[in-house]
Amino acid sequence: MFVIDKNNKLPLYIQLYKEIKKDIIANYKSGDKLHSIRKIASLYNVSKITVESAYSQLVVEGYIESYPKSGYIVTDMTNINSDPNKIQTITKIQKTEDYLYDFFPARLDNKSFPLKLWKRLLTKVIDNSLNLGSYPCGQGEYGLRTQIAKYINEFRGVKCQANQIVICNGFADSMGLLAKIIKKDYDTLAIENPGYQLTSNVFDSFGYKIKKVGIDNNGLNLDALNNSNANLVYITPSHQFPTGVSMPISNRLKLIQWAEKRNGLIIEDDYDSELRYSSRPIPSLQGLDNHDRVVFIGTFSKSLSPAIRVSYMVLPNHLLPLYQQSFDFDISRVSIITQKTLEKFISDGHWDRHLRKIRTLNRKKHDLMKKLLLDKLGNSLKIESQGGGLSILINPSVEFNWTLLKQLSSKKRIKLYFDKEISGGDWEAIHMGFGGLEEHEIESAINIFSEIWKQCILS
């Protein structure tokens, strides 16, 4: 029999409530009457108030009902399982593979994050002026939006006001929000092929039709776009993903004209334009547009950290009322602490300095990897894309055993990324990410890679 344990941390009434609940489940049926409060109190040697409290909790949860004069009656509990502690089957869904070197194409060197500075700024922004009891502004903190507007105006040529900016927690979040608010006006998305598959995934999940449009040396093929009959297009004009092509000014203007004529919309994904090593960043397409037809998407993932989860979207003015009427207008997507810290980071001038630092750092890595690849494999390899971002794209220039490459790299614990898997198209190239590797690691990694590569050449 149950004995109340007066040394147990749990209040007496809760111990009792748990015990009676177990008893009801195991031994009572619907309509059965419980013992009176007086009886239980004397049985367990506890006060009547303790029993009353235990019984009221059982009433609140609906196990028993209280009837004046009749006392406490067990309710209908057909189907309750007699073993409420049974643990469900466990499916392990995560495994982490351990690679010697991982050429992930969108990773930064952990050391490049300004850890100490960030910590200092964090502790500065956390004070009583922060309202942590309320929902923050859905669109993002006004101060941060002002800083971003200033930055993208100066460095990316984007023409916008803070009220056009929405702070999001990553590219997919920005795309999801956009897909939601323009759904009534657009049903088909044209997207570069090869292109960034995540974009198709997001728009597909909202029920959009996806039309893949080919690219050429000038980026998106505009004739093919015209033929697609889509009025909405997603492009990466300054550094096409994955081929690295940039769209020349003439085509940018034609594209804007296309959008103007059709009342269409251009989604400009400016994912890594900060990182260009052989020229200055190319000004945004948004800045050329005078007809309010461009949505500009930026992120801090490629140049500051993918782990702080901050991106942003610049809406054209005509979409602002739509956004404002959508339920998302009230939903803040990023911690106010992160937003305030980032705002201070930019306004205090650290962002400019950081960009210069990270550009130099990654230019060095880029140049090193390019040199090593050409020195070691120049005869059998061609470079498809280089000069920007966090990876170099390569292909064999000779007959090549791709299957063996995959087998050997896996055996040697080298993680490679293939464009067919990333972009889901027909075009193939290997993404050789350098951002996440330190310089000495690049040397060792390319050494092993070259040995593998040579074995895959079919001569």
User: Scanning residues 203 to 232, which ones bind its own copies (CB under 8 A)?
Assistant: 205-207, 218
Q: Are the CB atoms for 214 and 241 separated by under 8 Å?
A: no
90 near its own copies, rule: CB under 8 A: yes
Closer residue to its own copies in complex, CB, 332/397: 332
- The smaller minimum CB distance to its own copies, of residues 123 and 444, is found at 123
Give the bridge partners for 64, in sequence order. 74
Q: How far is the CB of 48 from its own copies (least distance, A)?
A: 18
User: What is the smallest separation between the CB atom of 258 and its own copies, expressed in angstroms?
Assistant: 10
- The number of C-alpha atoms within 13 Å of 40 and in the hemisphere containing its C-beta is 25
User: Nearest distance from residue 253's CB to its own copies, in Å?
Assistant: 5
DSSP character at residue 278: S
Q: List binders of its own copies among 136-175 (CB under 8 A).
A: 136-137, 139, 142, 157, 159-161, 163, 169-170, 172-173
Nearest Cα to Cα of residue 207 among 230, 184, 173, 174: 184
Parallel, antiparallel, or unpaired for β 294-299 and 265-269?
parallel
Q: Which of 36, 188, 226, 335 binds its own copies (CB under 8 A)?
A: 335
Of the pair 71, 157, the CB lying nearest its own copies is at 157
Q: Is 21 exposed, middle or buried (0-12, 13-18, 19+ CB in 10 A)?
A: middle
Segments of 259-323 assigned E as strands? 265-269, 294-299, 311-314
Beta carbon nearer to its own copies, 104 or 418: 104
148: left (phi over 0), alpha (psi -120 to 50) or beta: alpha
Question: Would you list the DSSP string of 309-358?
Answer: --EEEE--GGGHHHHHHSGGGG---S-HHHHHHHHHHHHTTHHHHHHHHH
Residue 458 binding its own copies, by CB under 8 A: no
The minimum distance between CB 420 and its own copies, in angstroms, equals 16
Residues 226-285 that bind its own copies (CB under 8 A): 246-254, 256-257, 279-280, 282-283
β-strand partners of 391: 433
Contact positions with its own copies (CB under 8 A) in 8-67:
14, 17, 30, 56-57, 60-63
Q: What is the longest distance spanned by two Cα atoms in the chain? A: 97
Residues 374-433 within binding reach of its own copies (CB under 8 A): none
Stretch that binds its own copies, among 33-41, 43-51, 120-128, 349-357 (CB under 8 A): 120-128
Q: Quick check: 308 and 342 in contact, CB under 8 A? A: yes
Binding segment for its own copies among 42-50, 127-135, 362-370, 400-408 (CB under 8 A)? 127-135
- Which 337-356 residues touch its own copies, going by CB under 8 A? 337-338
Choices 35-43, 193-201, 392-400, 411-419 (CB under 8 A): range interacting with its own copies: 193-201
Burial class of residue 242 in the structure, from the number of CB atoms within 10 Å of its CB (0-12 exposed, 13-18 middle, 19+ buried):
buried
Identify the residue among 86, 97, 403, 459 touching its own copies (CB under 8 A): 86
Asked if residues 50 and 15 have their Cβ atoms less than 8 Å apart, the reply is no
Site for its own copies in 294-323 (CB under 8 A): 301, 305-310, 316-317, 320-321, 323
Output the smallest distance, CB 110 to its own copies, in A: 4
